Structure 1
Amino acid sequence: IYTASSGIQSFPEFVAVGLVDGNEVMYYDSNTMKAIPKQAWMKKVTEDDPQYWEFETHKLSRTQKSFINSIEVAKQRFNQTGGVHIFQNMYGCEFDDEYKKAEGWESFGYDGEDFIAFDLKTERWSAPVHQALITKNKWDNDKMKVAEIKYYITQTCPDWLKMYVEYGKISLVRTDGPSVSFLQKSSSSPVCCHATGFYPSRAEMFWRRGEEEIHDGVDKREILPNNDGTFQMSIYIDLSSVPSEDWTKYKCVFQLFGVKDDLVIKLERARILSNNGISIISWTIPVVMLCLATVALSGYVYTLKKKNGEKSTNFVLLILNLS
């Protein structure tokens, strides 16, 4: 994930973060001007390539210049001068080990909105805003660049992903079951089903009444990272109009992708926490997953609405100026 910013004094002009399965594995910014590993196992890369991190630093310094220029071009397209602005690029891939299938993506965002994205099926760029049409037409006509992007996200990226998973398999190819609890601020507030400490991040949660999945009055929040590398998620349900004796008919269901058995917790008032006490249901699940997941960048302004991020030694080939 590349982030260029303008008008933020306390934030670097350019930040690059590489992610594998939702774990930050590489970091670079325009203040430090140095690419560094963020996981101990990423240091193993230098055993095969001693110049790896020097090479990454050199490429990202060039990428930095390109992105700082691109944010200025975007400001001109939107007739903007001063103020705070964010330009981002997110690209990567995921590999399904079971079906031996790879998928990839490449997208750009500006000030919290989608700007332009690559459609792998049509091998063309989509531009949801008219300010991006100039860029779309230019990039669609660059057949060599289109071929490079397609090859990278379907071939090169999955190969690097497999290598990183091999390097970090002790920590990446593992499963941590969640601890689940019911929370409620007051007797009239929505009831929250909160799961934390699970890994990997490909998970789903929903409320069920009997055997019917409930959607009305439900508010599901995004999956967020914990400081220890695991993840958390919450889903709220408004039961203010439901008689208290019917609450036991509701259940919170937690699913982890690829796992047959769900964690199903019946809602009981005795399990609901307010400000005192903790009632936690734990679950241990055997599963192996190779995927990339979206991660919120702590302290950063994250704008793209697509999926997932990725780390590679070849990403400089895909840096495209807007001009």
Structure 2
Amino acid sequence: MKTLFLLLLFCHVSSTVKHSLKLFLTATSGVPNFPEFVAFAMVDEVQVGYCDSNIKTPEPKQGWVRDFMNDNPQHMEWYIQRCSISHHFFRANIDGLKQRLNQTEGAHILQRMNGCEWDDETGEVFGFNQYGYDGEDFIALDLQTLTWTTPRQQAFTTKLRWDADKAKLEFNKYYYIHYCPDWLKKYVHYGRSFLQRTELPSVSLLQKTPSSPVSCHATGFYPDRAMMYWRKDGEEHHEDVDHGEILPNHDGSFQISVDLNLSSVAPEDWRRYDCVFHLSGVEDHIVTKLDKAQIRTNWVSPSEFPAGGVTGVVVALLLLLVLCITGLFIWRKNNNGFRPANTK
């Protein structure tokens, strides 16, 4: 396990030349107070555009994207058309799926994730186009065989129909091999000062309660090629350590947490531990000593709990519920992300 973890970290940090363009489209049914269609675009894991069935017009999310759209108005017009067309396409498909699966009630979610990756060192291109329904894989395009694949019997009728549309399959192949990478290269060129910047994070030690693991939390770093780990006596430490994923922030930066369970560690031994953050391409590491005085927490003992604290707890629980509901709309294949199809 230790060897596998180190290998994954090495692969993540050393992969410095790949760029990606990803489009996420989501249709919902039976979800109150939420647009029935939402779409957003990401370049190198940074959100660059957004549209939904309420606003209808795509919104650039970065200054350099607005500059690009102003200089290329036909590109913006394409996104306006695609937002409208995709809305109707997804609305029809989710209605058809509900009817086919005899789903007359409840909330349902249809998602598509498509786009491409481009290695600016080797020139290698990957394309992907896959659908999920109610949080599970539904159907995906195999660009090598130009056929649709599915793990679900309910999607077999869709597979046969889409496999028979040879013209659309050829268009998909050309789009993911040529159009998508060409656009991605233009985006990367236009946004290079933003996308190729380096920002170090702020690092904090957090703990929910005195008996909870201590979380070493880094936020505000860019790019996402980074690793963080705990050390003991100067050596990397893996026992009772839980590594979190690198997650995006709303401003385009990233965050990560690594938890250390200290339940079996004597208080006098805490000083032997420290947390290390390393950003790819930056020589210096950020080292944070495990110091009880530096740990931030919102925990208070029951005897100190204020009468008005109940309101705060209720608000916190409501915010957590909102976050959980929002998380339902982030579909990842087998909880491990997508596996793009090699088009070379």
**TM-score normalised by the shorter chain: which range applies?**
0.7 to 0.9
Unaligned runs of 5+ in 1: 277-295, 309-323
Quickly say closer, same or farther: Cα 1:50–1:211, change in 2 above 3 A: same
Residue in structure 2 matched with residue 9 of structure 1 by the alignment? 32
Match of 1:194 in 2: 217
- Looking at structure 2, the residues matched to 300 and 163 of structure 1 have their Cα atoms a distance apart, in angstroms, of 31
Of stretches 85-94 and 102-111 in structure 1, the one that deviates more from structure 2 is 102-111
Is 1:211–2:260 an aligned residue pair? no
Aligned residue pair count: 288
1:281 aligns with none
Alignment match, 2:181 = 158
The reply to whether residue 305 of structure 1 matches residue 332 of structure 2 is yes
For structure 2, the 5+ residue unaligned runs are: 1-23, 300-322, 339-344
Give me the whole-angstrom Cα distance separating, in 1, the residues matched to 2:53 and 2:155. Answer: 26
Q: 1:266: Cα distance to partner?
A: 4.2
CA distance in 1, matches of 2:98, 2:220: 41
Shift of 1:34: 1.6
Which of 223, 236, 245 matches 2:259?
A: 236
Task: Normalising by structure 1, report the TM-score.
Answer: 0.77
2:295 aligned to which of 269, 272, 280: 272
Post-superposition offset of 1:69: 0.8
For 1:56 and 1:158, locate their aligned partners in 2 and report how far apart those are by CA, in whole Å. 16
**Secondary structure of 2:200's match?**
coil
- CA deviation after TM superposition for structure 1 residue 262, in Å: 4.8
Question: 1:301: how far off?
Answer: 4.2
> Within 2, Cα distance between the matches of 1:246 and 1:121?
56
Aligned to 2:138: 115
Deviation at 1:49, TM superposition (A): 3.0
AA aligned to 1:9 is: P
Give me the whole-angstrom Cα distance separating, in 2, the residues matched to 1:133 and 1:125.
9
Q: Give the match's secondary structure for 2:109.
A: strand
Does 1:44 find its partner at 2:67? yes
Q: 1:217 to 1:74 in 2, by over 3 A?
A: farther
The one-letter code sitting in structure 2 at the alignment partner of 1:203 is A
**1:254-310 deviation line (CA, Å, top 9, x unaligned):** 34345566544443434433359xxxxxxxxxxxxxxxxxxx9995742310448xx
Match of 2:148 among 125, 132, 146: 125
After TM superposition, the structure 1 stretch with the greater mean CA deviation from structure 2, 146-155 or 53-62, is 146-155
Q: CA, structure 1 residues 180+130, in 2 after alignment: closer, same or farther (shift >3 Å)? A: same
Q: How many percent of aligned residue pairs carry the same amino acid?
A: 51
On the 8 A contact 2:200/2:279 being kept in 1, the answer is: no
User: Offset of 1:236 from its aligned partner?
Assistant: 1.5
- What CA distance in whole angstroms lies between the structure 2 residues aligned with 1:139 and 1:250? 56
Larger Rg: 2
Q: CA deviation at 1:140?
A: 4.0
Offset from partner CA, 1:126-168 (integer Å, 9 cap, x none) = 3232222222343345444344333333332221111112222
In 2: Cα distance, 1:248 partner to 1:153 partner: 53
Report the structure, 1 or 2, having the larger helix content.
2
How high is the TM-score relative to the length of structure 2?
0.73
